[in-house]
Amino acid sequence: MIEKHIVLEDIDPVLFYGINNTHLQMLKALFPKLRIVARDNVIRVLGDEEQMAVFEETVENMRRHVLMYNSINEENILDIAKGRKTKEDSVKGVIVYNISGKPIKSRSANQQELVDAYDRTDMIFATGPAGTGKTYLSIALAVKALKEKQAKKIILSRPAVEAGEKLGFLPGDMKEKIDPYLQPLYDALEDMIPAVKLQDMMEKHIIQIAPLAFMRGRTLSDAVVILDEAQNTTPAQIRMFLTRMGWNTKMIITGDLTQVDLPRGTQSGLREALRVLKGVEGISFVSMDSKDIVRHKLVTNIVRAFDKADKENKQHNNNESINKD
């Protein structure tokens, strides 16, 4: 008889053990020759060496399943114990699973182009209107890299230009002032990583969310770095950000050139970067449009209506200029 302690790393043990320890009871029934006791994230096992080896393999495969899919059920446990593929393992094209166990995958050709570009190059510019999934999909790719240990950390950033950069006039400490402008990034992460685990990762700085100004002077290595709302950077800011790139790092820069909030007369850094970096080897450019919108169907109609109005206004202004000449 031997005794072993198995540590459930990187997952929520409550998901692993099941409600009222139903999954743990199932394991005990599947391995009757072993004495199994669990406390927190440690499983203590006593018993036959041969069955112990099979149990260890089963527990590790269950742990990986929970890590990948954020869920596990009795059917999954039976499949894993019998050495079969689970139903989830058979689904193709999934980036990660959300906390409810639903698959996150590309839902349009341009979204798939973003996924392919991420695999192909280390820097990707993804532009398009609101609701096309560019930020959400980018964060999903980053979470996948973290889970598969292809990256050691995720760094998410946004310019805080919506506040007019006058954060000093807002109530609260620096975190309380900045957090509202970073909330969309928190929302996406909370959809993909269980709350307790996300809090732990943020406390350990495995996941970092910070305004663009905090990037100055840093070298970002072994990370997936995402700059959101890049249309609201100045040319100097985006140049500063892009040159933070270190070894084994991927950068995704997202933005919507129709939603520039910079002061009148200030050039968008994203627009400048797209112009200057076009054709540079190792950089991918993905452009999304209204066909890629994954929000309420009204959002697509709204975007198209505004696009049409913008074109009509531009044509009207051009005609006025011609008439004046």
Give the 3-state secondary structure of residue 108.
coil
Q: How far apart are CA 35 and CA 191, in angstroms?
A: 37
Residues 180 and 32 in one domain: no
- Backbone φ and ψ of 43, nearest 5°: -105, 125
Is 95 part of a structural domain of the chain? no
Closest Cα to residue 140, out of 97, 183, 204? Answer: 97
Is 317 part of a structural domain of the chain? no
pLDDT at 304 > cutoff 90 = no
Closest Cα to residue 194, out of 294, 52, 72? Answer: 72
- The CATH number linked to 137 is 3.40.50.300
Closest Cα to residue 128, out of 287, 293, 311, 310? Answer: 287
- Contact between residue 302 and residue 310 where contact means Cβ atoms under 8 Å apart: no
Residues 20 and 166 in one domain: no
Residues 125 and 272 in one domain: yes
pLDDT at 47 > cutoff 70 = yes
Q: How far apart are CA 58 and CA 62, in angstroms?
A: 6
- Across all residues in the chain, what is the average pLDDT? 86
- Contact between residue 225 and residue 251 where contact means Cβ atoms under 8 Å apart: yes
Domain that holds residue 142: 100-294
Q: How far apart are CA 154 and CA 201, in angstroms?
A: 10
Residues 269 and 146 in one domain: yes
Closest Cα to residue 212, out of 239, 173, 250? Answer: 239
- Contact between residue 155 and residue 226 where contact means Cβ atoms under 8 Å apart: yes
pLDDT at 55 > cutoff 50 = yes
pLDDT at 269: 94
- Contact between residue 96 and residue 224 where contact means Cβ atoms under 8 Å apart: no
Is 167 part of a structural domain of the chain? yes
pLDDT at 102 > cutoff 80 = yes
Of the two residues 323 and 75, the one the predictor is more confident about is 75
Q: What residue has token string 């199932």?
A: 26
Angle at 71 between CA 69 and CA 76, to 5 degrees: 90
At residue 120, what is the residue type? R
Is 146 part of a structural domain of the chain? yes
Total tally of structural domains belonging to the chain:
2
Per-residue tokens: 320: 């006025």
Q: How far apart are CA 200 and CA 205, in angstroms?
A: 9
Residues 68 and 112 in one domain: no
Closest Cα to residue 159, out of 225, 234, 217, 220? Answer: 234
- End-to-end, the C-alpha distance of the chain in Å comes to 96
Is 305 part of a structural domain of the chain? no
Residues 66 and 120 in one domain: no
Q: What residue has token string 């946004």?
A: 158
Q: What is the CA radius of gyration of the chain?
A: 24
Residues 28 and 63 in one domain: yes
Residues 136 and 183 in one domain: yes
Give the 3-state secondary structure of residue 250.
strand
Is 249 part of a structural domain of the chain? yes
pLDDT at 210: 82
What mean pLDDT comes out for the span 190-198? 90
pLDDT at 175 > cutoff 80 = no
Q: How far apart are CA 110 and CA 70, in angstroms?
A: 27
Is 313 part of a structural domain of the chain? no
pLDDT at 165 > cutoff 50 = no
Q: How far apart are CA 277 and CA 214, in angstroms?
A: 24
pLDDT at 169 > cutoff 70 = no
Closest Cα to residue 126, out of 321, 274, 26, 238? Answer: 274
Please state, as a whole number, how many other Cβ atoms lie within 10 Å of the Cβ of residue 165.
Answer: 12
Q: What is the DSSP letter of 67?
A: H
Per-residue pLDDT tens over the stretch 246-303: 999 999 999 999 888 888 888 999 999 999 999 899 999 999 987 777 666 676 677 6
Residues 61 and 175 in one domain: no
**CA dist list (Å): 126 to 104, 159, 227, 254, 321:** 18, 16, 10, 5, 34
Residues 59 and 156 in one domain: no
pLDDT at 163 > cutoff 70 = no
Strand partners, 225: 155, 251
pLDDT at 162 > cutoff 60 = no
pLDDT at 240 > cutoff 90 = yes
- The CATH number linked to 39 is 3.30.1370.10
pLDDT at 264: 85
